[in-house]
Structure 1
Amino acid sequence: MYVPPRFAQTDRDQCLALIEREPFGLLATAGDDGVPFATHLPFLVERRGDEAVLVGHVARANPHWQAFDGARKALAVFQGPHGYISPAWYATSAKVPTWNYIAVHVYGAPRIVDDAGAARKAIAALTARFETGRPDPWEMSSLPEREADKLFTALVVFEMPVVRLEGKWKLGQHMAEEDRLGAVAGLTREGGDVALADAMKPERETV
């Protein structure tokens, strides 16, 4: 990813926190024919001591899992708040439109989780992550064993140790403060992404 130094997010914890907030990512690998293959899916971030691992699953019918040999490199892309920025919002003139955004790229080599117990635990953890906060959370344990067996047979669970992280927080850091605050006000006034407006505030540059 092209990341000018002024937009680089070098705080590993901030990048991982973005993935935890926005877990639906895009996983891409290069096929044997050189053509990229990508799958959209939700991820969990597991912190194992100093190591961070992305955990996910794909349908067994999806051929993508055949590339998860623990050696072939992959890229997982996550996107935070983003939106169009009108030059009409700036305090000074002679500016052009742009798009502000937050993005994180994760590099690693996915590997299949062969242990059936670990695979089930991973699916249960992913489900619990998104059921949290519901008035009556659904649990994997409520699924009849026969149906659970069918489910896990139809899925391939994998994990991808994080080898490298790239974070890009393009939030107008290169603009004069009055222009940046004008863009924040414009986003807020015209119904733009509230999270983006909040992140663009000068005191929130690293958030």
Structure 2
Amino acid sequence: MYIPKYFKVTDMQEIKDFIEKHSFAMLVTSHNGRPIATHLPILFKQNGEDFFVTGHMAYGNPQWKSFKESEEVLLVIQGPHSYISSSWYEEENVPTWNYQAVHLYGVPEIVTQEELVHDLTHLLKKYESHRPEGVVWEKLSDGLITKELKGIVGFKIKVNEIQAAYKLSQNRNEDDYKTIIEKLYLEDQGDSQQVAEEMKRQRK
């Protein structure tokens, strides 16, 4: 990912928090020279100084079979994004786009069923434990679990490289920066307002 110096993010805690918040990723691999992708939920984990991504996909999805021929895979994690009109600048310029994104490169492998169950347990806990009638792993019947496990494949990716970009108008002057935030709040789009919030947070 091309990242100009203004927009490069290197703070690992910031990156971990971002992935935790935006943990629906696009996994890109290659099969017979052709790129293929799947959109799926992931968990981002740290073990000592190493980082791992875990997830699962349908058994019927042929992408998991491409792991053997992929020396390295790419995970793309997208945050909020929004169009930025150059009419918001003090001086003449061209429009652009603000966004947040993280790319993770690593080596994939298929995990055991025990590892998959451990991963699914944590995934359900993350998204269900706060709900009054949350469907956590322990509440699922053995019959359903046995049936569903046959239909999915779990994987683990050891992360070799992390690229993170927050393109949030850091290269604009203070007046332009404040105006962009104000204008984004007026846009009738959820992502635009989220970008405004992120821009405010970055300047605190």
Q: In the TM superposition, what is the alpha-carbon distance from 1:132 to its structure 2 partner?
A: 3.3
Q: Secondary structure at the match of 2:166?
A: strand
**Which of 120, 133, 142 lines up with 2:117 in the alignment?**
120
Alignment of 1:50-69 (within 5 A): 50-69=49-68
Structure 1 window deviating more from structure 2 (116-125 vs 19-28): it is 116-125
**Which of 164, 177, 185 lines up with 1:167 in the alignment?**
164
Unaligned runs of 5+ residues in structure 1 are: none
Normalising by structure 1, we get a TM-score of 0.91
Q: Can you list the C-alpha shifts for 1:3-29, whole angstroms capped at 9, x where unaligned?
A: 111111112222222111000000001
Instruction: Work out the CA distance in 1 between the residues paired with 2:118 and 2:157.
Output: 16
Normalising by structure 2, we get a TM-score of 0.92
Instruction: Work out the CA distance in 2 between the residues paired with 1:129 and 1:143.
Output: 16
Note if contact 1:20-1:44 (Cα within 8 Å) is conserved in structure 2: yes
Unaligned runs of 5+ residues in structure 2 are: none
Name the structure 2 match of 1:43: 42
Q: Secondary structure at the match of 1:200?
A: helix
The residue type paired with residue 30 of structure 2 is A
Root-mean-square deviation (CA, aligned residues, Å) is 1.7
Q: In the TM superposition, what is the alpha-carbon distance from 1:66 to its structure 2 partner?
A: 1.1
Identity of aligned residues (%): 35
Structure 1 window deviating more from structure 2 (96-105 vs 191-200): it is 191-200
Deviant stretches of 4+, over 6 Å = none
Instruction: Work out the CA distance in 2 between the residues paired with 1:184 and 1:191.
Output: 13
Q: Can you list the C-alpha shifts for 1:110-138, whole angstroms capped at 9, x where unaligned?
A: 11102x22211111111111113222211
Note if contact 1:188-1:194 (Cα within 8 Å) is conserved in structure 2: yes
Name the structure 2 match of 1:176: 173
**Which of 119, 134, 137 lines up with 1:137 in the alignment?**
134
Name the structure 1 match of 2:28: 28
The residue type paired with residue 72 of structure 1 is E
Structure 1 residues 99, 145: closer, same or farther in 2, change over 3 A? Answer: same
Q: How many equivalent residue pairs?
A: 202
